[in-house]
Amino acid sequence: MSDVLDQTEVDALLSAVATGLPEQEKTEPAERAQKQPHDVHLYDFKRPERVSKDQMRALEAIHEGFARNFGASLSGFLRTIVEVRVASIEQLTYSEFIHSLPNPTCFNLLSANPLEGQLCLEISPLIVYPIIDRLLGGSNAELFIPQRPLTTIEWRLVKRITDRALSTLTEVWSHLVSISFELAETESNPHLVQIVAPNEVVVVISLELKIGTRAGTMTLCIPFNVIEPVMSKLATQSWLAYQRKAANDRQRATLASHLRTAEVDVRAFLAETTITVHDLLHLQVGDIIATPKPADTDLLIQVKDRNKFAGRLYQFKGARALRVTRLAEPDETL
């Protein structure tokens, strides 16, 4: 059955033909519809995001602190400036993580007591060999990066770097939970290591290391099932609040330890008075300067030009001494 226009549609059509819409106005709606962006996001149902954005931000904050501390520790150990920063943090499957690594590489398996399971710490050969060259007295000027597994001696040298990394990791994670990171095993071929199922979700934190003109990556792989028991503590608000509290406690303890050994200037004032310039010019040995202060009045003791104590003048072991009798008022006069 053919479509039949009613009278309203016929009138509207005739009106449009009579007024004659410009060609630009006729094409604008179609072009606008084509240019309008669509709010479409890709989602892989085979790899759900098991870690929320807030928890990812908390993990990033933790490892930004790790990057700062590890960079400072490595700079002191290598006696050169080492820059460490968090390059990226993302969720992948373990299979995707393994296939993204070079072979051979410096692959370390970590334990995180009391958590069950293992983590991975991979250090790129692009930065491992410059570090080894630096430890052996080289200049990294014309360093060749060999495509071979590390030797036994090179593994022992790299262990001095991984030990510092694990110590720093343990320190920054201790602000959240009590975890002890330890090196469990080393491997050159990452494809031979299977710590979780290939389709298991892992959090991959990539850090960039720079030593002079050389740069490379250090990647930490954290399987979700390992940190799942502590994921509830990674909420942004609680982490930030804990971070502020921990920082304040550390700062207070550090300041207190430094203040205990700090030296301050202490002055005691006998009295004050005024004299004429004539009397000042004619002062001689044996002259007495009278003050309006009674002899039985406490002397004022200032610390760093601030009134702190009041006391009496005594003699102790052949030396002049002051015995503190009370706290001084802030506005007390000499």
Domains present along the chain, CATH in parentheses: 53-255 (3.40.1550.10), 266-327 (2.30.330.10)
For the chain, the average pLDDT equals 80
Confidence of residue 41 (pLDDT cuts 50, 70, 90): low
Could you give the 3-state DSSP secondary structure of residue 128?
helix
pLDDT tens by residue, 78-114: 888 888 898 888 888 888 888 888 888 899 998 888 8
> Which has more pLDDT, 126 or 24?
126
Q: Given pLDDT bands bounded at 50, 70 and 90, which one contains residue 26?
A: very low
- 3 pLDDT more than 80: no
Whole-number percent of the chain with pLDDT over 90: 4
pLDDT above 50 for 237 = no
pLDDT over 60 (residue 11): yes
Q: For 149, what's the count of Cα atoms within 13 Å in the CB-facing half-sphere? A: 8
Q: What is the mean pLDDT of residues 115-134?
A: 88
In this predicted model, what pLDDT tens digit does every residue of 55-65 receive, in sequence order? 888 888 888 88
Q: Going edge to edge, which strands form the sheet with 118-123?
A: 82-93, 201-211, 214-223, 118-123, 106-113, 180-187
pLDDT at 210 over 80: yes
DSSP 104: S
Instruction: Say if residue 122's pLDDT is above 50.
Output: yes
CA dist 202 and 195 (Å) reads 11
Tens of pLDDT along 174-199?
A: 877 888 888 888 888 888 888 888 88
pLDDT tens for residues 294-315? 877 888 888 877 888 888 888 8
Residue 5 in this model has a pLDDT that exceeds 70: no
Tokens 């479509």 sit on residue: 3
37-53 mean pLDDT = 65
Give the model's pLDDT for residue 18. 63
Average pLDDT over residues 17-35: 53
Cα–Cα distance, 143 to 133 (Å, whole number): 8
How many angstroms separate the CA atoms of 105 and 292, rounded? 85
Q: Is the pLDDT of residue 36 over 80?
A: no
Per-residue confidence at 48, pLDDT binned at 50, 70, 90?
low
Whether the per-residue pLDDT at 118 is higher than 80: the answer is: yes
- Which has more pLDDT, 68 or 228? 68
Provide the percentage of residues in the chain whose pLDDT is more than 70.
Answer: 81
What is the band of 1 on the pLDDT scale with cuts at 50, 70, 90?
very low
Which of residues 7 and 256 earns the better pLDDT score?
256
d(CA 103, CA 191): 8
Predicted local distance difference test score (pLDDT) of residue 134: 85
CA separation for the pair 304, 265 (Å, rounded): 6
Residue 37's pLDDT is 61
